[in-house]
Structure 1
Amino acid sequence: MKSHSSTLLAEVRTFRQNHPGVRYVDLIALDIPGHFYGKRYPVEMLEKVAAGSPLKLPQNAVLLGAQGGLFKIGDYCFNDGDPDANRRLVPGTLKPVSWESQPLGQMLITSDGTEAPIEFEPREVLAKVLERLHHKGIHPVVAFELEFYLFDKKLDNGLPQFARDPLSEDADDQPNLHIERLTRFGDVLDDMAQTAKDQGIDITVITAEIGPGQFEINFGHLDDGLRAADWAALFCRSTRGVALKHGYRASFMAKPYLQYPGSGMHVHVSLYDGAGNNLLAAHQQQPLRHAVAGCLELLPHCMPIFSPNHNAFRRLGGTVNAATRASWGFEDRDACVRIPESDPRNLRIEHRLASADANPYLVLAAILVGLEHGLEAKREPIPPLNEDRNSGTDFPVDMLDAVRAMRHQPVLRDKLGGEFVDVYCENKRQDHLAFQQEIHAREYRWFL
């Protein structure tokens, strides 16, 4: 513990030397809906925390709804006295924030690794899954891909407007995959990429996607699943900040336009043993088939994680490469689980179902549990789409059905934790009901 504190203290002191103008650091963590919460600390107080002083925040901050409201979930929030819970600093995550008007820093915090981790904290859920896999000799390598839209900074009566082309000053309202879009929006995209790199994120490929003002950015492969999910979470925060600085809004909303493709979170996962052998490639790729079968079996029960809100369900069965059933295939982007062409060393799955605004810690945890379950159950999957275009199993397409499917699934309760499943399902159920408590203009047009 002493050397761990020494490492953190050295990190804070080095940061202060390199960024003498920074007076405050945001200590942040991701809640259940995928929003950052935390506190802004004077940098001199951060040194004390790094040296071992307690760092406590309300436990129930993790439970906030999408709009920040508290829901009664068991005894949490209203019958527990709103207790504090210990957090710790995540080493290596103290970085400068360049998109704010004043010099600032940020650093991730978490309850995992403390004496009493919060069972329903997303990062803790993933940490437990990874620890169990490591004990079994299974070592995941992970890479995220995130799609997002750029909008004009100003909304039009609450509705998004197309991003303005900085060269022509016209709205970028033509969906395309043209490389020229990367040039036209090069200033903001370059700033997003460089800012992410300044956060320690390995940015690789940038793509102009099909939707107007839609882009995808890929991250490098990591043998640290927690860090890979950290990258995805931090990228969303920095990208929104950089976009505002350039006069845009960046949004990871799953389906901002009904007529255009939604935005997804694609996750590449391969599994290795302690000697570096690809477990999925062994025995003529039989473990790959078992892993796929496990993913597809649990997928219908993980829909509240993959589609975490009402809008995310709109993306399913959409215009391009959005699956309508739990399916798999080789080099097939219509499948939920795609097997990209690769050599045996790099054989992997690409899980394509999650929306871009899903919680990356929970998405990865759910995928890994599916792979783990498949390797243990050793069942054959349904036919791939390459053999049967109608292959697939149904999954829930609205939140209330999805919550019912998740709540009592025994494998998920065992491998993600029963307490987490109960809390998460109730959070999503109440968030959905709260969302319905507003009458929209269309309702008056139809029923007045």
Structure 2
Amino acid sequence: MPLTNGCPDLLSEVRAFRARYPEVRYVDLISLDIPGHFYGKRYPVEMLEKVAAGSALKLPQNCVLLGVQGGLFPIGDYCFNDGDPDAPRRLIPGTLKPVSWERQPLGQMLISSDGTAAPIEFEPREVLARVLERLARRGIKPVVAFELEFYLFDRVLQEGLPQFPRDAFSGDPDDQPNMHIERLSRFGEVLHDMVETANAQGIDANVMTAELGPGQFEINFGHCADGLQAADWAALFCRSTRGVALKHGLRASFMSKPYLQAPGSGMHVHVSLYDNAGNNLLAADGQRPLRHAVAGCLELLPHCMPIFAANHNAFRRYGAMVNAASRASWGFEDRDACIRIPESDPRNLRIEHRLAGADANPYLVLAAILSGMEHGLEAQREPIAPLNEDRASGIDFPKDMLAAVAAMRDHAAVNERLGREFVMVYCENKRQDHLAFQQEVSAREYRWFM
């Protein structure tokens, strides 16, 4: 059986980590499942060195299939008819970092089945890896930057409901939200710790913005020429940010729509495409490829909604308040559009895909966006009118999970580009998660119907 790890660079990385952090005894080996949660194992650091030297690393294949609450659903022959087999994983070089938000010294490192002898077809990182490999064979090199919005809450819930956060200086709740720079100062201690912790994880987190919602902020990442690494950054940032918030007596959440009367939180993804010579492909021929890429994204968007809106709550975000589109649309410098074209020089011409909720899976969001762009470049069709020319321009997309799953499940281009096995597994996972969510009688139902 081929080894899934074992290379001098990995071994050197682990040994250098042990020398620099001798107090760390355990390392969390983590990977993202379909709903966007980390699963994995906590390894003694001396055992991690053995894995880096070539010992096999295996976890159950079906860890990837966990529902949003951690349970397993019967999906095809998986979970309950396959004997719950192990599948090989590999260590992701460069991701072994210290964890600073736990009470005891700890490390963490990403693992994945992509690049192993038997990759899991429906693992999110493997899905993105296949899309990137396909683009690479065509000489297309994406450059990607994520932006993530999130909310801070008081650590203590009241009757299960989140409360506005209080700043450390005045103790006042952040109940009069605005985009003023002073809010960054009021919550500067926790926000700066979030960025510095992310930087220590190897994440190029940089610009901070106070958003419109109470306790809502946005942090941007640098543009990255490695699509897998860009998605790694987004995933790891969510983990570290929640941990840092708890350390400061707060909660952080990337929930898409925590308050009905406040803006939702989005995952904005900037994507430009370059050839092997470093030329921006979108800017060629009077920006014709840009228009083709936009057309492809708009065509596939209604059939990728379970990816962009990954749960029941995420659908509440669309059309509810400012900058939350209710139809698939595009425009130049227009934040009401799903796909915004920021003003830039030809070298940096890019799309900004603004539809996904902040709690979506970053690997799958990027895979869907790149697949849409690839589809458009191949079909070479012109997009609908931009919002700058027609404010009514747009294409309808599903507004609930069951309709979204139906639109995704049998779509030929989505199955071809993301993988038929992945689409089947993902749609069934989302369908059953949604049905499980409905199996609880809410207080509202008693108010309405008793």
Does the 8 Å contact 2:268/2:353 carry over to 1? Answer: yes
| Residues in 2 aligned to 1:399 and 1:101: alpha-carbon distance in whole angstroms | 39
Among 413, 416, 421, the residue aligned to 1:414: 416
Among 375, 378, 385, the residue aligned to 2:377: 375
Provide the residue aligned with 2:336 in structure 1: 334
Does the 8 Å contact 2:98/2:108 carry over to 1? Answer: yes
Q: How does 1:104-183 map to 2 (within 5 A)?
A: 104-183=106-185
Provide the residue aligned with 2:295 in structure 1: 293
| Residues in 2 aligned to 1:284 and 1:99: alpha-carbon distance in whole angstroms | 49
Provide the residue aligned with 1:47 in structure 2: 49
Q: How does 1:226-375 map to 2 (within 5 A)?
A: 226-375=228-377
- Structure 2 gap ranges (5+): none
AA in 2 matched with 1:150: L
Among 65, 68, 84, the residue aligned to 1:66: 68
Q: Secondary structure at the match of 2:41?
A: strand
AA in 1 matched with 2:79: C
Q: Secondary structure at the match of 1:381?
A: coil
AA in 1 matched with 2:291: R
| Residues in 2 aligned to 1:2 and 1:187: alpha-carbon distance in whole angstroms | 41
- Cα shift at 1:419: 0.1
> Which stretch shows the higher mean deviation, 164-173 or 140-149?
164-173
Q: Secondary structure at the match of 2:378?
A: helix
| Residues in 1 aligned to 2:314 and 2:6: alpha-carbon distance in whole angstroms | 40
Distance 1:4 1:42, change over 3 A: closer
Q: Secondary structure at the match of 2:269?
A: strand
Provide the residue aligned with 1:7 in structure 2: 9
AA in 2 matched with 1:326: A
AA in 2 matched with 1:59: Q
AA in 2 matched with 1:320: V
Does the 8 Å contact 2:5/2:56 carry over to 1? Answer: no
AA in 2 matched with 1:94: L
Among 82, 85, 101, the residue aligned to 2:84: 82
Q: Does 1:30 align with 2:26?
A: no
| Residues in 2 aligned to 1:280 and 1:204: alpha-carbon distance in whole angstroms | 26
Distance 1:6 1:250, change over 3 A: same
Q: Does 1:101 align with 2:106?
A: no
| Residues in 1 aligned to 2:309 and 2:94: alpha-carbon distance in whole angstroms | 30
| Residues in 1 aligned to 2:401 and 2:163: alpha-carbon distance in whole angstroms | 28
| Residues in 2 aligned to 1:3 and 1:431: alpha-carbon distance in whole angstroms | 34
| Residues in 1 aligned to 2:268 and 2:192: alpha-carbon distance in whole angstroms | 22
> Which stretch shows the higher mean deviation, 158-167 or 98-107?
158-167
- Cα shift at 1:124: 0.2
| Residues in 1 aligned to 2:371 and 2:155: alpha-carbon distance in whole angstroms | 39
Q: Secondary structure at the match of 1:102?
A: coil
AA in 2 matched with 1:64: L
| Residues in 2 aligned to 1:172 and 1:292: alpha-carbon distance in whole angstroms | 38
| Residues in 1 aligned to 2:20 and 2:34: alpha-carbon distance in whole angstroms | 34
| Residues in 1 aligned to 2:364 and 2:181: alpha-carbon distance in whole angstroms | 33
Which deviations, in whole Å up to 9, do the C-alpha atoms of 1:396-430 show, x marking residues without a partner? 00000000000001011111000000000000000
| Residues in 2 aligned to 1:3 and 1:192: alpha-carbon distance in whole angstroms | 31
Which deviations, in whole Å up to 9, do the C-alpha atoms of 1:161-201 show, x marking residues without a partner? 00012121111111100100100101001100100000000
Which deviations, in whole Å up to 9, do the C-alpha atoms of 1:293-342 show, x marking residues without a partner? 00000000000000000000001112110000000000000000000000
Does the 8 Å contact 2:4/2:56 carry over to 1? Answer: no
AA in 1 matched with 2:62: N
Does the 8 Å contact 2:208/2:219 carry over to 1? Answer: yes
Alignment TM-score, normalising by the size of structure 2: 0.99
- Cα shift at 1:2: 11
Q: Secondary structure at the match of 1:40?
A: strand
Among 367, 385, 394, the residue aligned to 2:396: 394
AA in 1 matched with 2:372: G
AA in 2 matched with 1:100: E
Q: Secondary structure at the match of 1:419?
A: helix
Among 185, 188, 193, the residue aligned to 2:187: 185
Q: Secondary structure at the match of 2:74?
A: coil
- Cα shift at 1:215: 0.2
Does the 8 Å contact 2:152/2:165 carry over to 1? Answer: yes
AA in 2 matched with 1:359: N
| Residues in 1 aligned to 2:221 and 2:373: alpha-carbon distance in whole angstroms | 21
Calculate the aligned-residue CA RMSD, in Å: 0.9
Which deviations, in whole Å up to 9, do the C-alpha atoms of 1:232-291 show, x marking residues without a partner? 000000000000000000000000000000000000000000000000000000000000
| Residues in 2 aligned to 1:50 and 1:173: alpha-carbon distance in whole angstroms | 49
> Which stretch shows the higher mean deviation, 355-364 or 315-324?
315-324
- Structure 1 gap ranges (5+): none
- Cα shift at 1:4: 6.0
AA in 2 matched with 1:210: L
Does the 8 Å contact 2:308/2:356 carry over to 1? Answer: yes
Q: Does 1:444 align with 2:440?
A: no
Q: Secondary structure at the match of 1:143?
A: strand
Among 190, 203, 217, the residue aligned to 1:201: 203
Q: Secondary structure at the match of 2:7?
A: helix
Q: Secondary structure at the match of 1:80?
A: coil
AA in 1 matched with 2:236: L
| Residues in 1 aligned to 2:284 and 2:51: alpha-carbon distance in whole angstroms | 46
| Residues in 2 aligned to 1:381 and 1:255: alpha-carbon distance in whole angstroms | 30
Q: Secondary structure at the match of 1:249?
A: strand
> Which stretch shows the higher mean deviation, 368-377 or 161-170?
161-170
